[in-house]
Copies of this chain bind each other. A is one copy, B any other.
Amino acid sequence: MDAIKKLRFKTSAGMMECKEALKESGGNVDKAVEILRKKGIVKAAKKAHRIAGQGLVESYIHMGNRIGVLVEVNCETDFVARNHDFKVFVKEVAMQVAAANPLYVARESIPADSVKKEKEIFSSQITGKPDNVAEKIVEGKLEKYFSEVCLLEQPFIKDPNIKIKDLITQLIAKIGENVVVKRFVRYELGEEF
């Protein structure tokens, strides 16, 4: 039933057509979309999206248009999205990304491979220490790495005594609603990628 709902949402095709396509695709929604398209029932799949929450998309342009940032911050209601404190927070996040150039939102967003590689590199920098000491040092270096590349763990540029995640905690306490930095992107003029 869930697959039918998804397929109908994606294609706006009829209930029976969706059922049949899903039967044919073995329950795979993406394949079912293709089947419907091949049959000419669906013109083109809609870009799949639904509103997961409220919030704001905000930008920040820096250094005479040499650096640009786009961020999305979610909250739970449209009411909070129009709240002054929330708006200020979103703007500050965009400025933070421009100035401090994080690569990920949270440490959970870093690919496991990258963390492993960093760990290896840190390990091989240590020589002549007992294992338990070496482990502690590597842990410390990893924490430092996280505080450099993860937005939520970075010191807030306007007040380095707190981290961005502390700023969020304060905001949540103030407005009484959950706040999530969903994603960001930062362009620097001429950088290769």
Contact = CB atoms under 8 A, between A and B. Distances in A.
B49 A125 contact: no
How many copies of the chain does the oligomer comprise?
Answer: 2
Contact of A57 (B52, B66, B192): B66
Interface string A46-83: 01111111111111110001111110101000000100
A187 interface: yes
Given A57-B187, A121-B38, A187-B183, A192 B49 contact: yes
Contacts of A125: 37-38, 40
Interface in A146-193: 148, 183, 185, 187-193
B58 A190 contact: no
Contacts of A38: 121, 124-125
Nearest to A53: B190
A135 interface: no
Interface of A: 34, 37-38, 40, 44, 47-61, 65-70, 72, 74, 81, 101, 117, 121, 124-125, 148, 183, 185, 187-193
